[in-house]
Amino acid sequence: MTRDEEFARTVIEYDVNKRELRRLLLSARSRLTPDDVAAAQTALGRRALELPELAGARTVAAYVSVGSEPGTRALLETLRTRDVRVLLPVLLPDNDLDWGLYRGAGHLVRAAKGLLEPDGERLGPGAVTGADAVLLPGLAVDGRGLRLGRGGGSYDRVLARLDRAGADPARIVLLYDDEVVARVPEEPHDHPVHAVVTPGGVRRFGP
């Protein structure tokens, strides 16, 4: 049985909640080796850069991967060298996100919860509404485009802010191949994404 099938059975038959599904997914990530993570980062970056949504973007809201997350650092640097304006999140005390400009790896600082954030000027939580594409972290996405995050609610606020502003950037989640699953538990505030990029390819959702 594949991990996709295992997760689908777990969620559907046993009504596992988001907390338990997160535990399963994080446990699987913890077993990845540094070589696994590095190889996935190279392939993931290549796939992402082939997206027309990124090829034509002037401003991209992204994030710095940490630990065994699908790697974004090479992607960030390539976007910067292409003169794309890259916004990175800054975690606020209430779990909302402010934003700052990515100016290179030498301008990242270690912050709360082990995150890496940009130094320099803060642009305000509303800066994300000017992005042409938003790269979202996550743990899984299902066939409806519903994303499972880590549970802090930060990116739920970002997606809600985009909706309130009438902004419609490409919403793209970056995952490992076996984190595209049959189903994740759904809540009323969940927002579907437009596409998922994995080392193995791209899947789009919606009309």
CATH classification at residue 26:
3.40.50.10420
Q: What is the model's pLDDT at position 187?
A: 75
Number of helices and strands in the chain (H, E): 6, 11
Segments forming the whole domain that contains residue 61: 3-199
19 is in an annotated binding site: yes
24 is in an annotated binding site: no
CA 8 to chain CA mean position, Å:
21
- Cα 68 to Cα 76, 111, 184: the distances in Å are 17, 17, 21
22 is in an annotated binding site: yes
Q: Both tokens of residue 47? A: 């796939």
In 10 A of CB 72, how many CB atoms? 22
Is 204 part of any domain?
A: no
Is 206 part of any domain?
A: no
Instruction: Tell me the average pLDDT across 173-201.
Output: 88
18 is in an annotated binding site: yes
Q: What is the model's pLDDT at position 14?
A: 35
Say how many domains are in the chain. Answer: 1
pLDDT score of 158 more than 80: yes
Q: Both tokens of residue 169? A: 């950037």
Burial class of residue 25, CB neighbours in 10 A (0-12, 13-18, 19+): buried
Looking at per-residue confidence, does 151 or 108 come out higher?
108
Q: Both tokens of residue 128? A: 């994300």
Q: What is the model's pLDDT at position 16?
A: 59
Question: To the nearest whole number, what is the mean pLDDT of the chain?
Answer: 88
Query: How many Å apart are CA 70 and CA 199, to the nearest integer?
Result: 9
166 is in an annotated binding site: no
Is 50 part of any domain?
A: yes
Instruction: Tell me the average pLDDT across 75-98.
Output: 94
Is 73 part of any domain?
A: yes
**pLDDT category of residue 91 using cuts at 50, 70 and 90:** very high
pLDDT score of 2 more than 70: no
Q: What is the model's pLDDT at position 186?
A: 79
Instruction: Tell me the average pLDDT across 92-116.
Output: 91
- Cα 74 to Cα 119, 154, 157, 161: the distances in Å are 19, 24, 27, 28
Is 207 part of any domain?
A: no
**pLDDT category of residue 171 using cuts at 50, 70 and 90:** very high
Contact 136, 156 (CB under 8 A): no
